[in-house]
């Protein structure tokens, strides 16, 4: 299987061998498709997160539950992504959104990688015309149970539970901007996905990434559970975990949006020691 992260030079050298996927999406509601239409990597298809990478939101399941496998497969088919294609996904936020597609493909046995630095790392010309690919054959596969974590798994302090949200949301010192309650899952450690990036938008070196994970309690012995607000940027932590040579973890799909909607689940604030 392809490495979980590739750089722009590798991507440029393999344009004929991969399918580029533009997965721009914004928490503030701006349409990612509009940015794609302004300019995207050559031949890239646009993947609408809310249509193909998530099921409808609900308090019981969270803001971005995993879609039914057949819905995901239909989206890939319509975009021209097939079972045997290698996908390189990108966004304009250092990969914190595009990692959702990369994780979904990799855990179901498909070749997929994140473009390090995203569209900002691309030195070639951009295109504005939408890519046209013929429909492909993409087989629906169930989400593997071993790649997923439940709320009880996230509550289990035997696991290394990491929170990918921006630090201020983890600390919960004010109202949460999008979810019912502020704070974090008790026992979880803050590991903001965006802080894996340097000033140029590319990932920090592997030694620094490994040190960041170690500081958040990822010691190689405990199983890793990753969550965020809705299960999107949590995938970036999982892709980076693998990129850093620390193995694979599990996604808590409902994340804080599901947890904080349940009044029976406690919320912690401040920094965990």
Indicate if the pLDDT at residue 1 is higher than 90. Answer: no
Domains 5-142 and 146-259 share a fold: yes
State the average pLDDT over residues 243-266. Answer: 97
Q: Token pair of 174, please?
A: 């004010």
Length of the chain equals 273
Q: Where are the domains of the chain?
A: 5-142, 146-259
- Is the domain spanning 146-259 CATH 3.40.1160.10? The answer is no
Q: What ranges in 115-247 are assigned the alpha helix state H?
A: 151-155, 167-171, 206-215, 233-243
Interatomic CA distance for residues 24 and 91, integer angstroms: 5
State the average pLDDT over residues 250-263. Answer: 98
Q: Identify the band that residue 273 occupies on the pLDDT scale cut at 50, 70 and 90.
A: low
**pTM metric for this prediction:** 0.97
State the average pLDDT over residues 53-70. Answer: 97
State the average pLDDT over residues 85-107. Answer: 98
* pLDDT tens column, 11-25: 999 999 999 999 999
Q: Which sequence positions are flagged as catalytic?
A: 228
The CATH architecture of the domain made up of 5-142 is 3-Layer(aba) Sandwich (3.40)
Q: What angle do CA 83, 24, 46 make, to 5 degrees?
A: 45
Q: Identify the band that residue 78 occupies on the pLDDT scale cut at 50, 70 and 90.
A: very high
pLDDT reported for residue 160: 98
């Amino acid at each position: 299987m392809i490495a979980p992260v590739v750089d722009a030079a590798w991507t440029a050298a393999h344009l004929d061998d991969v399918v580029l996927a533009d997965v721009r999406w914004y928490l503030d509601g701006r349409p990612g498709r509009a940015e794609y239409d302004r300019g995207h990597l050559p031949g890239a298809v646009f993947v609408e997160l809310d249509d193909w990478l998530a099921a409808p939101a609900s308090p019981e399941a969270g803001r971005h539950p995993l879609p039914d496998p057949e819905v995901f497969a239909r989206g890939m088919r319509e975009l021209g992504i097939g079972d045997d294609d290698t996908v390189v996904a990108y966004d304009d936020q250092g990969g914190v959104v595009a990692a959702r597609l990369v994780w979904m493909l990799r855990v179901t046995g498909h070749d997929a990688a994140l473009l390090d630095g995203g569209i900002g790392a691309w030195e070639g010309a951009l295109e504005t015309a939408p890519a046209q690919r013929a429909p492909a054959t993409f087989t629906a596969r169930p989400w593997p149970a071993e790649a997923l974590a439940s709320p009880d798994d996230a509550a289990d302090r035997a696991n290394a539970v990491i929170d990918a949200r921006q630090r201020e949301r983890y600390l919960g010192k004010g109202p949460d901007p999008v979810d019912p309650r502020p704070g974090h899952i008790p026992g979880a450690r803050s590991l903001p996905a965006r802080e894996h990036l340097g000033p140029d938008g590319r990932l920090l070196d592997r030694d620094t990434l490994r040190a960041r994970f170690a500081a958040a309690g990822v010691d190689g012995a405990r199983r890793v559970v990753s969550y965020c607000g809705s299960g999107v940027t949590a995938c970036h932590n999982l892709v980076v975990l693998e990129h850093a040579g620390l193995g694979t973890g599990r996604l808590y799909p409902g994340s804080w949006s599901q947890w904080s909607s349940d009044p029976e689940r406690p919320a912690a604030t401040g920094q965990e020691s």
